[in-house]
């Protein structure tokens, strides 16, 4: 399995500019661009395949390639809202779209996966590193993002807004139960 590739980015952030400004106690527009950039940075830190949560926060589309069909085509991100398509290269190395009537979207303790429905078989495929591709929509609406994740984003934005350099003159201490504790229940656990 290759690393998934995001094909359609989210159209909104899990935290609004107004929420972040209220959190950092800013009531003017002079720092709107900075705060918006901090929201994006905090979201990127948590979101997607390279984010530390290993999950999609806001609705976005991903493509994941596999060398061939397998009993389970394990998807790297959760939550999966829908499967847009499963394509493959047939024996003649020609791209084909698989009918959605032969497979289903399932989830177990290790996460979401595509598998055959009962009494179905995978078609033959050409052997190549991207022989099978699953395009799927992962994430949820901004209003459905868990409150702990939203609060962690706000804490990161607030910290980065107050401390704009990599070093500080005063000695700083981590706040117990801060961002790391808030996101812990949502982290992807390796199998």
> Per residue in 127-176, pLDDT tens?
999 999 999 999 999 999 999 999 999 999 999 998 887 776 766 666 64
- The pLDDT value recorded for residue 184 is 79
The span from the CA of 125 to the CA of 9, in Å, is 30
pLDDT confidence bin for 188, thresholds 50/70/90: low
In this predicted structure, the answer to whether residue 191 has a pLDDT above a threshold of 50 is no
pLDDT for 15-71, tens place per residue?
A: 999 999 999 999 999 999 999 999 999 999 999 999 999 899 999 999 999 999 999
Task: Give every CB contact of residue 51 below 8 A, 6+ residues apart in sequence.
Answer: 44, 45, 57
What does the domain layout of the chain look like in residue ranges? 5-56+142-186, 69-136
Spatial distance between the Cα atoms of 58 and 40, rounded to a whole number of angstroms? 12
- DSSP character at residue 120: -
pLDDT in tens, 62-109: 999 999 999 999 999 999 999 999 999 999 999 999 999 999 999 998
Residue 178: both structure tokens together: 């801060």
Sequence-separated (6 or more) residues with CB below 8 Å from residue 31: 161
| Domain covering 5-56+142-186 in this structure, CATH number | 1.10.3230.30
Angular region, 131: left φ>0, alpha ψ -120 to 50, beta rest: alpha
Instruction: Quote the pLDDT of residue 102.
Output: 96
Q: Does residue 123 have a cis bond before it (omega within 30 degrees)?
A: no
């Amino acid at each position: 399995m290759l690393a998934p590739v995001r094909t359609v980015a989210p159209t909104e952030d899990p935290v609004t500019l107004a929420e972040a400004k209220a959190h950092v106690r800013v009531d003017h527009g002079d720092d709107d661009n900075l705060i918006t950039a901090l929201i994006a940075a905090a979201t990127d830190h948590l979101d997607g395949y390279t984010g530390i949560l290993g999950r999609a926060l806001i609705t976005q589309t991903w493509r994941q390639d596999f060398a061939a069909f397998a009993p389970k085509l394990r998807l790297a991100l959760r939550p999966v809202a829908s499967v847009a398509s499963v394509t493959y290269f047939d024996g003649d190395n020609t791209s084909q779209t698989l009918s959605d009537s032969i497979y289903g979207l399932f989830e177990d303790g290790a996460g979401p996966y595509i598998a055959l429905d009962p009494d179905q078989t995978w078609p033959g495929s050409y052997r190549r590193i991207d022989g099978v591709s699953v395009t799927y929509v992962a994430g949820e609406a901004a209003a459905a993002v868990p409150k702990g994740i939203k609060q962690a984003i706000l804490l990161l934005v607030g910290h980065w807004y107050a401390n704009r350099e990599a070093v500080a003159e005063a000695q700083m201490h981590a706040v117990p139960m801060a961002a790391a504790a808030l996101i812990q229940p949502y982290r992807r656990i390796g199998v």
